[in-house]
Structure 1
């Protein structure tokens, strides 16, 4: 008697049951990322054409502020009814913002469009996180979040060049208007997955006061950015704004996130600290390569491209490891690599100041190393968050993760800007100051990652 066994094929995110949903979510993330990269490329032209150079910085700050409100609103809405309606509303808001920007007759109208884009983009991210928790089994979630990382990377490779080409061949307006059609295509692919979701029967109502705290936190970050580099009495306004952000975070994140309580609070804190430290370094890496090592913008920008590739590669590695590496271990390893990169980056600047004249390859390689750590740790924060979430709090937790991400990066950039200006006034190297601060934040990130495993339950 002979027996034969057949092994069922392993499910993948591009298996027939998940392919359309995966492609649609990948596309939506990529379109949001492309829009961010493209706008950075064409905004100088936009501001000149619309006679709004005085509002240039606000065009970038406005979607950052409104995005936090969108994240919180989408989280509350998803916990109450499920993610379908919030996702559709976020896509409509994002598309409406694109249309307003593409048709804007003035810079003031364009700012209205940017606010709508921020609301829609922030809500869209939260809605997709909730959708991952509902549509994909736990074994596939690391791969889904790795695909999200790749969706952010691809636009960094071709987005700026494509945006410049479109602006030169037709008009900068088509950079906004052309993206609307892509969002519609993604909606068509996502529709089958959305039709299969049932409304929550045990949804919860989150107090609407969270929206007010989100608005306060967003405005406070902008005030901190505007006043952080001031001195004298004006600087007191920056201190008040910093306190307001800290208090707002206490209302927008799970209890204990600010003090690194074990379990989910430390997962949220790890995500915020990863974003804060890495994107603080990203904002100044090209600047320091031009200022200290006299590289051209094109050569200095190669570091950004390399980071995109390394980040995506590390994300794929951690997804393939799957359950062989626990979430906590993945986050600890990733944050340690980020810390090593930031320390090496700060050391290379300090060595340059000391006259040792290291090669420009050293700070660029240090930044790329930090990007590898981000690729390894960053996706696991989303997976770990969903693993401990239920229908009653999945929206809140997804919102908290996105808020920590956004406000963490924004707060770090504001503090870094203030530290940069203060160092210049003291005739110190402002770049070294910023990178040392980022390294200190990286050390705190390692501590937070080590506390992401939930505390053991007491014996019965």
Structure 2
């Protein structure tokens, strides 16, 4: 039988090929890189109340996340330079050991400032490891396996959303939050040494790239400003933070267009708009998914769920993302159509949340409606995600391929930081912090889900334009 280029043989592109003897160790190592970073994100969020109860620093509570996200963006932006200079094996090992070092600092921290220092190092290592895992898909695997590999590494966020809260909650319940950090160390060291040896040794070829410090500074500062401003309950502070962050982001884009040392491929600014439309679509879908930040809170106070159940209600979105990625990753011959459909499915999920999310009822029907809506939101992102990532690699010229891989995580982390901050801004503006009871929370939920529905609505347009 002749196999066309549009629909390659399943044996060459399927999960069996990815997990066959030739590619299995590499696939597991790359997936572990994302999983180790993602588990740390959810684990730390789960144990932070216990941390504050033990070592104090409640005034710096939100900064444990702000510092980590800021450092993760910085780490991801340096991935291309580190990969080009050190090669896959050494780069992966460096990132894993940085994450391990930060984890040790957090585990022994006697005070909140020390813990924040550990979170900073964790973020640098985790962001670098996250970006490297995506970037090395191109280097270590055949192109026919890219969609499956992208689905695998993306699915690790769904796995982490289930494992992180459970592991953190277990240690928090035992009044041993430090054990949660210590529990990560064996895995970090194992993949930092054994896993790294599964990867190629040498550099990626060409001259060793430099880190684009101006772009890194502008983007990192934009993330830091909007994250810090979102902590305040004052509308003026939130508005000022949004304005300054938008100006910094505009400055970053202008600098990227003009410089030769950048964070995204030069093709992003070419007359052919497809690559930048793919990036915009990715950012909008990630932005839409950040509503999950408040789902556990609404689950407890509107749907009457317990902390653990409400936490796992929020995890439904990540589960949808994972299932959607796996289900559609093998349909590369229909990638354009799937990219166009994904935002529509996510939009349906947010419309469902607009109606079901504010309902003040603990009935099975009300909770199920929220769960189905979250599943649709995540499924839409997940089904499009592997094909969007593959499209980035395909639309980027060979000389910028290292940037193509790391740019994906730069866009994702930046969109996550902006989305989380915007969610905080919206909830503060409509009175979330006023403590007005269930009525106030219902209004907050309605506004947040309604406004965030604009993101996948815009993604419907950008995805279709990118497809054309």
Bin of the TM-score, shorter chain as denominator length? 0.7 to 0.9
Which residue does 1:108 correspond to in 2? Answer: 113
CA separation of 1:80/1:302 partners in 2, compared to 1, >3 Å: closer, same or farther? closer
Equivalent pairs, count: 440
- Compared CA separation, residues 259 and 101, structure 1 to 2 (3 A): farther
**Pair 1:215–1:162, CA change in 2 (3 A):** closer
- Residue in structure 1 matching 2:453, options 439, 443, 446: 439
2:99 to 82, 94, 97: 94
- Select the residue among 140, 147, 159 that pairs with 1:135: 140
1:398-437 matches, within 5 Å, as 398-424=405-431, 429-437=443-451
Alignment correspondent of 2:298: 288
Task: Tell me, in whole angstroms, the C-alpha distance in 1 between the residues paired with 2:373 and 2:39.
Answer: 26
- 1:77 is aligned, of 82, 86, 100, to 82
Measured after TM superposition, the shift of residue 118 of structure 1 is: 0.5
Residue aligning to 1:449: 463
CA drift of 1:198 comes to 4.2
TM-score, length basis structure 2? 0.84
Residue 247 (structure 2) pairs with residue 243 (structure 1) = yes
Equivalent of residue 34 in structure 1, options 20, 34, 39: 39
Residues 333-352 of structure 1 aligned to structure 2 (within 5 Å): 333-349=341-357, 352=359
Look up the match of 1:3.
none
Paired residues of 1:72 and 1:396 also in contact (CA < 8 A): no
Indicate the residue corresponding to 2:274 in structure 1.
263
Q: What is the Cα deviation at residue 168 of structure 1?
A: 5.1
Aligned with residue 389 of structure 2, among 369, 376, 382: 382
TM-score, structure 1 as length reference: 0.86
The aligned residue for residue 325 of structure 1 is 334
Shift of 1:195: 3.6
Note if 1:276 corresponds to 2:287.
Answer: yes
Question: How big is each residue's C-alpha offset from its partner over 1:194-237, in whole Å with a ceiling of 9 and x where there is no partner?
Answer: 3454441355446432222233223222233235x423578435
Corresponding position of 1:152: 157
1:84–1:210: structure 2 CA closer, same or farther, 3 Å change rule?
Answer: farther
Q: Which sits farther off after the overlay, 58-67 or 145-154?
A: 145-154
User: SS at 1:91's partner residue?
Assistant: helix
Give the distance between the partners of 1:117 and 1:164, measured in 2 at CA. Answer: 20
Write the distance in 2 (CA, Å) between the matches of 1:149 and 1:311: 8
Q: CA deviation at 1:79?
A: 4.4
Q: Is 433-442 or 233-242 further displaced after alignment?
A: 233-242
Q: Which runs of 5+ in 2 are unaligned?
A: 1-8, 257-262
Q: 1:241 to 1:28 in 2, by over 3 A?
A: closer
Shift of 1:447: 1.6
Partner of residue 316 from structure 2, selected from 306, 310, 318: 306
Q: SS in structure 2 opposite 1:17? A: coil
Query: Any idea what the Cα deviations from partners look like across 1:67-91, whole Å, max 9, x if unmatched?
Result: 1111111223334554444333222
Do 1:79 and 1:393's aligned partners in 2 also have CA atoms closer than 8 Å? no
Q: CA deviation at 1:151?
A: 2.0
Q: Which residue of 1 aligns with 2:214?
A: 209
Question: Contact 1:83/1:130 (CA < 8 Å) preserved in 2?
Answer: no
